[in-house]
């Protein structure tokens, strides 16, 4: 009896929840929670963006740090057992010892252990560009170096540079979406709403843009950027170049959607109520494309990240001493360097991981918005 009552109460609660979650976004979120892989990917991305925001705290060394005597040093080994077979409570590293100066072969200097300290004081910085701080996640005392992923040709810590490089690699996707999507939405909205000459003009422009192999055009436009720009300005300019090339595809699809939406009653109603055209487009028509836009944005970002790393890889994106994953990977371009110092490939793994996460998440979101995939 009591059990039946609880079951009834549970069913009632479920019904109430179902009634409450009615907006498409809420429905999609409920659906998305079933895709474990998409959720894991979302977690990976949140972690990556958190590390990006706290770059100075996470990175063991500052961006401009270099130890010229330790170039092309392999990843340092983290140990718990020392050379005498004794266990240590703290993980420790050995200092580097140059074994062969000609081939740049390093070995550990076993004479002394250096404990890894956590929450250690180091170079000063401003957390989130505001809070002055000097605490770092981890560090070791010199002369040992905490090159967890090895060092590059100038003796710079690869891990630190990857952490700082994530600022460019992770931000550019969002930046481009923030610029491209308003342009694509407005252009597509105008073309679909007005039709005739405006539609023709915009769509012909889109066709011409689509006729170029995208990367050739990116390459040409990026090369036009003056070399003297500061890295922040350059980042914005590159984002601008991507947007210039990329708004067309979105505009074309939005136009198609708008063509069908503008015939619906609520749009006719808004026009009959005497709203001006821009307001009808922006406030009444475009919101109906939300679910498509969210999916498209999630799937646009990895493409942009790929494009930026490609440009930087070829030397046309971010410039030294700035850093991005593509630029770091460019160091591994020659066969000799690549085969002798394979740890320089790690930035490529970071790119793959982030793009993979975005693709999984985007796929999950697309399914979540798709009513055909929706189960009750």
Partner 1 sequence: MIRYILRRLLLLGPLLLGITFISWAAIQLAPGSGDYFQSLVLQYPQISPSTIAALRAQFGMDQPPWIQYLRWLWSILHLNFGLSFAYNVPVSWLIGSRALNTLLLSVTSLVAAWAIAIPLGIYSAVHQYSVVDGLLSAAAFVAISVPSFFSALLLLYAAYWTHLLPLQGLTSVNYDSLSWWGKVLDVCWHLVLPTVALGVFSVGGLMRYMRTNLLDVLRQEYVQTARAKGVSERRVIFRHAVRNAINPLVTLFGFELGGLLSGAAFVENVLGYPGLGRLILEAVLKKDVFVVMGSLLLGSVLLILGNLTADILLAYVDPRIRYE
Residue 360 near partner 1 by CB under 8 A: yes
Q: At which residue do the structure tokens 């503008």 appear?
A: 262
Q: Which residues pair with 92 in a beta bridge?
A: 79, 115
Shortest Å, Cβ 331 to partner 1: 11
Quick one: CA torsion of 326, 328, 331, 335, rounded to 10 degrees? -60
Q: Which is nearer to partner 1, 70 or 311 (CB)?
A: 311
Residue 78 near partner 1 by CB under 8 A: no
Q: Which of residues 279-308 bind partner 1 (CB under 8 A)?
A: 302, 306
Residue 197 near partner 1 by CB under 8 A: no
Out of 44, 127, 219, 275, which residue is the one contacting partner 1 (CB under 8 A)? Answer: 219
Torsions phi, psi of 237, nearest 5? -65, -40
Shortest Å, Cβ 8 to partner 1: 35
- Cα–Cα distance for residue pair 333/324, rounded to 1 Å: 15
**Please, what is the angle between helix 290-313 and helix 231-261, to 10°?**
150
Q: Which is nearer to partner 1, 63 or 332 (CB)?
A: 332
Shortest Å, Cβ 209 to partner 1: 7
Shortest Å, Cβ 333 to partner 1: 7
Residue 375 near partner 1 by CB under 8 A: no
Out of 16, 90, 121, 204, which residue is the one contacting partner 1 (CB under 8 A)? Answer: 204
Q: Which helix (H) or strand (E) holds 119?
A: strand 117-127
Contact 94, 113 (CB under 8 A): yes
From 48-56, 168-176, 209-217, 274-282, span contacting partner 1 (CB under 8 A): 209-217
Pairing relation of β-strands 117-127 and 131-139?
Answer: antiparallel
Q: Which is nearer to partner 1, 133 or 299 (CB)?
A: 299
Q: Which residues pair with 125 in a beta bridge?
A: 133
How many angstroms separate the most distant Cα atoms in the chain? Answer: 87
Torsions phi, psi of 127, nearest 5? -70, 130
Which residues does 23 contact at the CB level (< 8 Å), separation at least 6?
none
Using a 10 angstrom Cβ sphere, with 0-12 exposed, 13-18 middle and 19 or more buried, the burial of residue 86 is exposed
Helices (H), the chain: 2-20, 24-32, 36-53, 55-58, 158-194, 196-210, 214-224, 231-261, 265-272, 277-279, 290-313, 325-330, 335-340, 346-369
Residue 26 near partner 1 by CB under 8 A: no
Shortest Å, Cβ 251 to partner 1: 16
From 111-119, 181-189, 201-209, 280-288, span contacting partner 1 (CB under 8 A): 201-209
Q: Which residues pair with 138 in a beta bridge?
A: 118
Q: Which of residues 154-183 bind partner 1 (CB under 8 A)?
A: none
Supply the DSSP symbol for 104. Answer: T
From 145-153, 192-200, 215-223, 282-290, span contacting partner 1 (CB under 8 A): 215-223
From 19-27, 79-87, 212-220, 276-284, span contacting partner 1 (CB under 8 A): 212-220
Residue 220 near partner 1 by CB under 8 A: yes
Out of 18, 143, 338, 370, which residue is the one contacting partner 1 (CB under 8 A)? Answer: 338
Out of 233, 333, 371, 374, which residue is the one contacting partner 1 (CB under 8 A)? Answer: 333
Residues near partner 1, by CB under 8 A: 204-205, 207-209, 211-217, 219-221, 223-224, 226, 302, 306, 309-310, 313-316, 329, 332-333, 335, 338-339, 342, 345, 348, 351-352, 355-356, 359-360, 363
């Amino acid at each position: 009896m009591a059990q039946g009552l609880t079951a009834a109460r549970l069913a009632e609660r479920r019904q109430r929840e179902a009634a409450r979650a009615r907006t498409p976004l809420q429905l999609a979120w409920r659906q998305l929670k079933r895709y474990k892989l998409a959720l894991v990917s979302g977690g990976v991305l949140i972690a990556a963006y958190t590390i990006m925001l706290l770059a100075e705290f996470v990175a063991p060394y500052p961006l401009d740090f270099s130890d010229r005597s330790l170039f092309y040093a392999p990843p340092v080994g983290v140990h718990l057992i020392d050379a005498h077979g004794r266990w240590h409570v703290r993980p420790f590293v050995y200092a580097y010892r140059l074994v062969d100066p000609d081939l740049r072969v390093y070995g550990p200097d076993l004479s002394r252990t250096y404990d890894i300290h956590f929450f250690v004081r180091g170079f000063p910085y401003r957390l989130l560009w505001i809070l002055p701080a000097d605490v770092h996640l981890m560090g070791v005392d010199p002369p040992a170096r905490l090159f967890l992923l090895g060092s590059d040709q100038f003796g710079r810590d690869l891990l630190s540079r990857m952490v700082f490089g994530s600022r460019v690699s992770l931000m550019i996707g969002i930046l481009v979406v923030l610029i491209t999507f308003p342009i694509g939405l407005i252009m597509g909205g105008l073309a679909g709403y007005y039709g005739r000459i405006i539609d023709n003009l915009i769509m012909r422009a889109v066709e011409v843009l689509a006729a170029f192999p995208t990367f050739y055009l990116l390459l040409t436009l990026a090369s036009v950027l003056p070399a003297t720009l500061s890295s922040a300005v350059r980042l914005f300019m590159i984002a601008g170049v991507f947007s210039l090339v990329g708004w067309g595809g979105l505009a074309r699809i939005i136009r198609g959607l708008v063509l069908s939406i503008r015939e619906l009653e609520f749009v006719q109603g808004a026009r009959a109520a005497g709203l001006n055209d821009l307001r009808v487009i922006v406030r009444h028509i475009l919101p109906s494309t939300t679910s498509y836009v969210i999916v498209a944005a999630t799937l646009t970002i990895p493409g942009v990240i790929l494009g930026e790393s490609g440009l930087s890889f070829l030397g046309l994106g971010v410039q030294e001493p700035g850093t991005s994953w593509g630029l770091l990977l460019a160091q591994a371009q020659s066969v000799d360097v690549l085969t002798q110092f394979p740890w320089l490939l790690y930035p490529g793994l970071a790119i793959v991981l982030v793009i993979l996460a975005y693709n999984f998440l985007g796929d999950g979101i697309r399914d979540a918005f798709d009513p055909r995939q929706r189960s009750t």
